[in-house]
Amino acid sequence: MPALSELEEAWLEARADESFRAELERLLRDFAGRPTPLYEAGRLSEAVGHPVWLKREDLLHTGAHKINNALGQALLAKRMGKKRIIAETGAGQHGVAAATACALLGLDCTVYMGTEDMRRQEPNVQRMLLMGTRVAAVDAGARTLKEAVSEAIRDWVANVATTHYIIGSAVGPAPFPALVRDLQRIIGDEARAQVLEACGRLPRRVVACVGGGSNAIGTFVPFVGDDGVDLIGVEAAGDGLATGRHGAPLTVGGRGGILHGSYSAIMQDDEGQITEAHSVSAGLDYPGTGPEHAHLRDLGRAHYVAITDTEALAAYRRVAELEGIIPALESAHALAWVMANPDGAADALDLVCLSGRGDKDLAEVISRG
């Protein structure tokens, strides 16, 4: 708890500090490639039947929105005098982003990764190693993201004096969900200004995929006060919600619970044991979700839906054919939902966060035919 208070204080201070903000802005612009374009996907729009605009986080350095958060937290760690960084990763995108930020800033980095994910995402393991990061294999439980987060938290508790934990999503104990949201809201801030500039109005629907929920919360937050804008989070239905093999705690509803230090929608059995999530997309393969999403859901401000593995895989291929863009399997969930649920309104206008690029998923997609 004291470490969390220290982190919160340091973040509030840094956020208000002009020179910190300027340095982060410079890195996001010159190193990571911000602002990312907002792109009207013409052939996809035609197929859906109304305009669909894509926020191109896939064009960022390292290929996903994760770098926004990793750069911000690594800079914060440096400011706090912490020389050692730990992180967890599922698909490897956050691990690569953390490794990248640490190489850039000269910080020592260890990334915890489940052995099942290491197998599924071998190229990302190699990327991290290349940048001087140590990849620590986690062999507990299902050997995926949940176990990696647990192991990173254990490391942090033991080494808290020297170490900062760059959590990859809007989950974990406070202040992490808020810290990650603050660092990711640049997606929504840019997109809102860009859509106003390009279309002269706000979108009717803003859509993003939700695992832990960092790209979605970053996209949603600037639109929360815009009453006419529907916010739609797309979770992983895995093999189908009815099978229980999914990663859609927000969509399924049910009792809230505690996972990794926050109270939110989680997948659990009657006794409160956390159950395993399932998704073809490693980044959505997590039984919990950011607490702010559960809050937006309970307020009725955002709605959560789910897309199966099969639907996401089809969208992955379809968007590649239509747009010459290979989306991450995570982002393919958001695109699949839009394609399956066109907006009937005359002034339909969708804004979708294309959170990452899909090269990392090629082997997985091809192996499934």
Q: Which of 214, 262, 281, 355 is catalytic?
A: 355
261 lines the binding site for other proteins (CB under 8 A): yes
Would residue 151 show up in a list of annotated catalytic residues for this protein? Answer: no
- Three-class HEC string of 40-103: ECHHHHHHHCCCEEEEEHHHCHHHECHHHHHHHHHHHHHHCCCCEEEEEECCCHHHHHHHHHHH
Interaction between residue 260 and other proteins (CB under 8 A) = yes
Strands 38-40 and 52-56: antiparallel
Tokens for 331, please give them: 């982002």
Quick one: which of 83, 154, 201, 368 contacts other proteins (CB under 8 A)? 154
Question: What single-letter amino acid sits at 72?
Answer: G
136 binds other proteins (CB under 8 A): no
For the chain, the maximum distance between any two Cα atoms, rounded to a whole number of angstroms, is 57
Which helix (H) or strand (E) is 258 found in, with range?
Answer: strand 256-259
Contact string 17-56 vs other proteins (x = CB under 8 A): ----------------------------------------
Instruction: Based on the shown chain and the rule CB under 8 A, indicate whether residue 153 belongs to the binding site for other proteins.
Output: yes
Q: Is 81 in the site for other proteins (CB under 8 A)?
A: no
From 82-90, 148-156, 320-328, 341-349, span contacting other proteins (CB under 8 A): 148-156
Catalytic annotation on 55?
Answer: no
Give the one residue of 48, 259, 349, 351 binding other proteins; rule: CB under 8 A.
Answer: 259
User: Binder to other proteins among 16, 158, 346, 366 (CB under 8 A)?
Assistant: 158
The answer to whether residue 66 is catalytic is yes
Spatial contact of 32 and 68, defined as CB atoms under 8 Å apart: yes
The count of other CB atoms within 10 Å of the CB of residue 114 is 28
289 belongs to the binding site for other proteins (CB under 8 A): no
The answer to whether 1 contacts other proteins (rule: CB under 8 A) is yes
Cα–Cα distance, 238 to 301 (Å, whole number):
25
DSSP single-letter state for residue 241: G
Catalytic residues: 66, 88, 355
Residues that bind other proteins (CB under 8 A): 1-3, 140-141, 146, 150, 153-154, 157-161, 255, 257-261, 266, 268, 270-275
